């Protein structure tokens, strides 16, 4: 096909093998500069729509892309019909995540036919996979633009290429290395903000595609992170969530200083932002110093998301999680000792290759022992190119489903019991808005991230209030307003 010659101008093929040989080159910090003149007005009078799949990292990347597009003059579209640019920010974590995107791409063909000037782009983690790029080139030729997770700051150039080129524009860098500062962001909320502290992942859990799609671990400099948080505090944000695939590895890549995640949390603690969360932490690097800092509380909330994946040491070994069941339980014991009212949540995979009934029961018993308040639970999904994909995926689908169901029932039982214990207690809630189901009811979250519904006047949105819990449900709490509050910086 003659067309492929033209793609090569833009196309650096994603290469899993190359991604695994992490370059030892230092991390460069580069600044996103103003959009060059010819591109600054490219979006004037036009509208954009970004559809986001996957984790918070993607949600935040979409805020960055929105920021860049708005600097180019684009405005947000109300829906698909009035969009001139549609970007699908994709997730590759499980097969069903990818299937959704391919389904959506198929459906969007009709839109392209109706509006040939529409620019249709695919970005995010799926674009980092060579098989996906090839499939789009082959089966969805009406896509205008594919770009990877390391190319977001190049969006103005890529869009200009797509606008003026007749061929599909593909730019996917498999080699990362840069941390880009000064990226514009559109944060629609005004109350809660995501803040990247690091990019990439070097853990290479055997089932996981993320180390390939997001590249090696790169930490943002603390001065840049802290400046961003101070700015958010000045703008009146009430809550931030620090983001990284493995926040406990923060700072390990610095060559010019000794500064860890615990140091960062200790510094963030001193900033006047009422609530600070973080996600996600890997049990392996969760050290005593971090527990000590978190136990100081204040704006550091007593909720820790600590993915365990499995309760069986042999499966954990096959997953290359590099901790045992005993190590995890010991870590939980230390955390509970330092922060007795801590709420722990987790991620669990069932049906990993070779998982026996007994090994799965170890997961159930660990869940019972830790008493997680809630968990994200998944059926194992083989990802091409990962080490686990070469293991025999031998647990039948009915067994995987049945295990997921038993696990979820246990989690619901524990969740219900945990929430029941809050009956009659008064908790601090940050009011986020009207409840989705009933506009006469307001919703907000506790410091431990539990959703609370109550009746109250709308002017409370954006404020901290005191709510007495009188009707706990399995995953949500209902209560009565008993007073307004300034963020206490302690307690539930």
Residues at the site binding ligand SF4, with contacts judged by CB under 6 A: 201, 203-205, 208, 210-211, 245-246, 282
CB of 41 to ligand F3S, least distance (A): 32
Taking CB under 6 A as the rule, which mask of x and - marks residues 88-127 in contact with ligand F3S? Answer: ---xxx------------------------------xx--
Nearer to ligand SF4, 18 or 113 (CB): 18
Contact present, 186 and 196 (Cβ < 8 Å): no
Q: Does 247 bind ligand F3S (CB under 6 A)?
A: no
Region near ligand F3S per CB under 6 A, out of 19-27, 210-218, 232-240, 268-276: 210-218
| DSSP character at residue 300 | B
Region near ligand F3S per CB under 6 A, out of 53-61, 186-194, 273-281, 330-338: 53-61
CB of 367 to ligand SF4, least distance (A): 18
Contact present, 174 and 12 (Cβ < 8 Å): yes
CB of 194 to ligand F3S, least distance (A): 12
* Residues 122-161 interacting with ligand F3S (rule: CB under 6 A): 124-125
The kind and range of the H/E element at 135 are helix 130-139
Nearer to ligand F3S, 59 or 160 (CB): 59
Residue 203 half-sphere exposure toward CB, CA atoms < 13 A? 28
Selected binder of ligand F3S within 16, 50, 57, 242 (CB under 6 A):
57
CB of 376 to ligand F3S, least distance (A): 11
Nearer to ligand SF4, 61 or 84 (CB): 61
Residue 101: name its binding partner from ligand SF4, ligand F3S, ligand SAH, none (Cβ under 5 to 8 Å by kind): none
Q: Does 210 bind ligand F3S (CB under 6 A)?
A: yes
CB of 478 to ligand SF4, least distance (A): 34
Residue 381: name its binding partner from ligand SF4, ligand F3S, ligand SAH, none (Cβ under 5 to 8 Å by kind): ligand SAH
- 329 exposure class (CB count in 10 Å sphere: 0-12, 13-18, 19+): middle
Q: Does 216 bind ligand F3S (CB under 6 A)?
A: no
| DSSP character at residue 489 | S
Minimal CB distance to ligand F3S: which residue? Answer: 54
Contact present, 60 and 243 (Cβ < 8 Å): yes
Selected binder of ligand F3S within 19, 48, 49, 58 (CB under 6 A):
58
Residue 91: name its binding partner from ligand SF4, ligand F3S, ligand SAH, none (Cβ under 5 to 8 Å by kind): ligand F3S
φ/ψ of residue 478, rounded to 5: -115, 140
What is the DSSP annotation of 70-86?
HHTT-EE-SSGGG-SEE
Contact present, 180 and 32 (Cβ < 8 Å): yes
The kind and range of the H/E element at 145 are strand 145-147
Query: SS3 for 406?
Result: helix
Contact present, 70 and 96 (Cβ < 8 Å): no
Q: CA quadruple 181, 168, 159, 113: dihedral positive or negative?
A: negative
Nearer to ligand F3S, 172 or 332 (CB): 172
CB of 58 to ligand F3S, least distance (A): 4
Nearer to ligand SAH, 104 or 347 (CB): 347
Q: Does 304 bind ligand F3S (CB under 6 A)?
A: no
Residue 94: name its binding partner from ligand F3S, ligand SF4, ligand SAH, none (Cβ under 5 to 8 Å by kind): ligand SAH
Residues 289-312, buried b or exposed e (16+ Cβ, 10 A)?
ebbebbeebebbbbbbbbbbbbbb
Residue 54: name its binding partner from ligand SF4, ligand SAH, ligand F3S, none (Cβ under 5 to 8 Å by kind): ligand F3S
Query: SS3 for 460?
Result: helix
Contact present, 288 and 296 (Cβ < 8 Å): no
Residues that bind ligand SAH (CB under 6 A): 93-94, 207-208, 210, 245-246, 280, 282, 307, 309, 347, 349, 378, 380-381, 383
Q: What are the residues facing 457 on neighbouring strands?
A: none
- 336 exposure class (CB count in 10 Å sphere: 0-12, 13-18, 19+): middle
Q: Considering CB under 6 A, how many residues would be counted as binding ligand F3S?
A: 13
CB of 97 to ligand F3S, least distance (A): 6
φ/ψ of residue 355, rounded to 5: -65, 120
Nearer to ligand SF4, 170 or 348 (CB): 348
Q: Does 214 bind ligand F3S (CB under 6 A)?
A: yes
Contact present, 487 and 431 (Cβ < 8 Å): no
d(CA 7, CA 2): 10
Closest CA to 171 of 152, 144, 146: 146
Chain residues in the site for ligand F3S (CB under 6 A): 54-55, 57-58, 91-93, 124-125, 209-210, 213-214
């Amino acid at each position: 096909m003659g067309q492929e010659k033209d793609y090569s101008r833009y196309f650096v093929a994603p290469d899993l093998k190359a991604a695994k040989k992490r370059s030892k080159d230092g991390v460069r910090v580069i600044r996103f500069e103003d959009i060059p003149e010819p591109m600054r007005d490219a979006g004037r009078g036009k509208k954009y729509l970004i559809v986001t799949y996957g984790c918070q990292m993607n949600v935040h990347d979409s805020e960055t892309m929105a920021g860049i597009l708005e600097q180019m003059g684009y405005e947000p579209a109300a829906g698909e019909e009035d969009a001139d640019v549609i970007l699908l920010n994709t997730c590759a974590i499980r097969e069903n995540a990818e299937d959704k995107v391919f389904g959506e791409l198929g459906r969007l063909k009709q839109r392209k036919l109706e509006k040939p000037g529409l620019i249709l782009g695919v970005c995010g983690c799926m674009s980092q996979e060579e098989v996906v790029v090839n499939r789009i080139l082959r089966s969805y030729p009406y896509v205008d633009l594919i770009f990877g997770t390391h190319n977001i700051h190049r969006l103005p150039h890529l869009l200009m290429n797509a606008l003026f080129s007749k061929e599909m524009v593909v730019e996917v860098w498999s080699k990362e290395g840069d941390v880009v500062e000064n990226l514009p962001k559109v944060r629609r909320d005004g109350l809660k903000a995501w803040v990247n502290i690091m990019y990439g992942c070097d853990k290479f859990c055997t089932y996981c595609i993320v180390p390939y799609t997001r590249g090696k671990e790169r930490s943002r400099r603390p001065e840049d992170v802290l400046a961003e948080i101070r700015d958010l505090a000045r703008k009146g944000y009430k809550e931030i969530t620090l983001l990284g695939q493995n926040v406990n590895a923060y700072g390990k890549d610095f060559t010019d200083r000794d500064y860890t995640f615990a140091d960062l949390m200790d510094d963030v603690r001193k900033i006047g932002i009422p609530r600070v969360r973080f996600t996600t932490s890997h049990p392996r690097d969760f050290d005593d110093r971090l527990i000590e800092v978190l136990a100081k509380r204040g704006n550091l909330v007593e909720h820790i998301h600590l993915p365990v994946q499995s309760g069986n040491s042999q499966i954990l070994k096959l997953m290359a999680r590099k901790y045992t069941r005993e190590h995890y339980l010991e870590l939980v014991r230390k955390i509970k000792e330092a922060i007795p009212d801590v709420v722990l949540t987790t991620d669990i995979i069932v049906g990993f290759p070779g998982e026996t009934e007994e090994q799965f029961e170890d997961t159930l018993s660990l869940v019972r022992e830790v008493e997680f308040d809630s968990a994200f639970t998944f059926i194992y999904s083989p990802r091409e190119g990962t080490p686990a994909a070469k293991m025999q995926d031998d647990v039948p689908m009915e067994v995987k489903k049945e295990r997921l169901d038993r696990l979820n029932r246990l989690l619901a039982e524990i969740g219900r019991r945990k929430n029941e214990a809050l009956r009659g207690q008064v908790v601090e809630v940050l009011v986020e808005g009207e409840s989705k189901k009933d506009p006469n009811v307001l919703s907000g979250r506790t410091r431990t991230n539990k959703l609370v519904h109550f009746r109250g006047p709308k002017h409370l949105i954006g404020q901290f209030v005191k709510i007495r819990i009188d009707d706990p449900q399995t995953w949500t709490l209902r209560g009565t307003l008993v007073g307004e509050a300034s963020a206490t910086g302690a307690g539930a």
